[in-house]
Amino acid sequence: MRRARRGLVLALAPLTAVVMAVSGCSGDSGGGEIKGAQEQPKGVNDINPRDPGSLKDGGDLRWPLDRLPDNFNRNQVDGTDGYAKRVMDALMPHAFRAKADGGVAVDTNYFESIELTSKQPQVVTYRINPKASWDDGTPITWEDLAAQARALSGTDPAFRVGSSSGYREVERVEKGRDDREAKVTFRAPYGEWRALFADLYPKSTNTDPAVFNQGWVERPVLTAGPFRVESVDRTGKTIILARNDRWWGPRPRLDRIVFRVLERGALPDALANKEIDFYEIGSNVDLFQRAKGIADVQIRQALQPKYNLTLFNGAPGSVFADPKLRVAVQRGINREVLTRALVGQILPDAKPLGNHVFAEGTKDYRDHSGEVGFDPDRARRELDELGWKAEGDVRRKDGRELAVRFVMSANNPFNEQVSKLYQDQLRQIGVKLVIQPVPSSEFSKNHLVVGNFDIAPIAWELSPFPIDGNTSVYRLANDVQQNYGRVGNDSINRLFEEAGRELDDARRAELANRIDEEVWRAGHSVPLYQVPDAVAVRSTLANTGAFGFADRDYTAIGFTG
């Protein structure tokens, strides 16, 4: 599932892993060069770029999803997943959009300019596009920004926010020279101010906690994008978006976008039968091999800031509430073996990721995994010291088995494989892993968000804003936000506070790496490996495919013929 509020940001979803990437090759040839993350070019994507004006006017893009979103409010804790982002990015305003090189640019469809107009106090002035309006005809104004800043500030717990990062630092939002200008004043310097208002919702959503939390569960309510909602059918598991006649920006090439839930094993046949127009390959080698055999299909590739990890639940009362126990158990996990077993047959040089905050290939990446390296002998000693004594195959303390639940989305081949690998490795240090598959529709809302797990496999997408994009994930506070494992400490919190106030990019990156070191020591989670982006795409589909670090431009997507 992706983080709320931002374009290309830290994100969470039922665990998927792209395990290979192939230079754009058609199914006719059946060939292609497999590349790993180390071989991927930096700062580019693979989307078959074409001038939108040269594309066919019309047509439906048929887009497969693993499941429908739990909530269409991207700023609410249940709406932070990637499925909601795929739908809502075609419907809602954004202050900035992510670019292929990892930077960001103002989305001029919604804002004429966004500028830092004062440093003491820090003031950012947002000049709203005079044409921008909600689909009921109401203009987008400074009041929409003000209402969202209040709702996401974290001051009212009735608003169950996915992240209050940045908004906690906003002192006030005022009307500028007219209703189309907002002046945002910060109570203290905030270096990553560009991360705010990445998913802007109307004032009516952000003034009522009931609407904020539940009003967008069944379907989007009031939107302002190049597409509009035509229908949401939860029984039929489809969402249809249609071209928005009220849209003031570049005219979309597509008539409609049809989102449809499909089992991953059914994707190749659906693509071959022209029932869908692309699919994400994921970790299933069969999906890759079958894509190569589908006529008029290309496999497009890019480097993306996404990685797979295993989350530990350290909430009070949980089996892993003690950080020493979390770290001891994590020392029994051999990430090298896991990586080789999961992707080694096609990516022999694949390496585990060593940082929770920065993607490998970025200038600020540092490997801090040595903080909790694989050392089963030390793991056994530390478990003994903590009172978990070996009794047969399973350790016990005060008559209680050291048994932990590995909760995962069912019918996911990757989850099934990784759970068995963990089970075998942890057995060797006396930990009993109980594998608990749950329906994918229940994994997030009934287990992850509410902390109903001991260990859980997930995937994060890293943000171009290392502090703002990670605060809600690693900061420990009364409201969980996206720290689903409830793991953190005062040191991490203080570093986030210091880094958030830092305006110097280099110094902020240094603090972000110190945060990563502390996150490792706290036993928050175990990163596996960064995954390249590989997508099987119909060859006639342009301006889409492997987006890498960039956000999608829904107005530019279309067919060449």
Q: List phi, psi (to 5°) of 160.
A: -85, 85
Under 8 Å CB-to-CB from 508, ≥6 apart: which residues?
A: 191, 192, 466, 467, 499, 502
Q: What is the pLDDT of residue 40?
A: 61
- Let me know: does 216 contact 205? Beta carbons within 8 Å: yes
Which helix H or strand E contains 458, and what residues bound it?
Answer: strand 455-461
Number of H helices, E strands in the chain: 14, 24
Structural domains in the chain, sorted by start: 306-531 (3.10.105.10)
Q: List phi, psi (to 5°) of 93.
A: -70, 155
Distance of CA 343 to the CA centre of its chain: 21
Vertex 227 angle, CA 221 and 231, to 5°: 55
Return the HEC string of 178-227.
CCCEEEEEECCCCCCHHHCCCCCCCHHHHCCHHHHHHCCCCCCCCCCCCE
* CA atoms of 503 and 519, how far apart (whole Å): 23
Question: For helices 323-330 and 376-385, what crossing angle results, to 10°?
Answer: 150
What letter would DSSP give residue 53?
Answer: G
- Let me know: does 280 contact 66? Beta carbons within 8 Å: no
pTM to 2 decimals?
0.83
Longest Cα separation, the chain? 74
Distance of CA 560 to the CA centre of its chain: 30
Q: What is the pLDDT of residue 39?
A: 61
Under 8 Å CB-to-CB from 76, ≥6 apart: which residues?
A: 4, 159, 160, 161, 162, 212, 213, 216
| pLDDT tens, per residue, the chain with 561 residues | 333 332 223 233 332 322 222 333 333 333 354 465 556 666 789 999 999 999 999 999 999 999 999 999 999 999 988 889 999 999 999 999 999 888 899 999 999 999 999 999 999 999 999 999 999 999 999 999 999 999 999 999 999 999 999 999 999 999 999 999 999 999 999 999 999 999 999 999 999 999 999 999 999 999 999 999 999 999 999 999 999 999 999 999 999 999 999 998 999 999 999 999 999 986 667 888 899 999 999 999 887 888 899 999 999 999 999 999 999 999 999 999 998 888 776 567 788 999 999 988 788 999 999 999 999 999 999 999 999 999 999 999 999 999 999 999 998 888 999 999 999 999 999 999 999 999 988 998 899 999 999 999 998 888 789 999 899 999 998 888 899 999 999 999 999 999 999 999 999 999 999 999 999 999 999 999 887 678 999 999 999 999 988 999 999 999 998
Buried b (16+ CB within 10 A) or exposed e, 462-487: bbbbbbbbbbbbbbbeeebbbbbbbb
- Alpha carbons within 13 angstroms on the beta-carbon side of residue 250 total 16
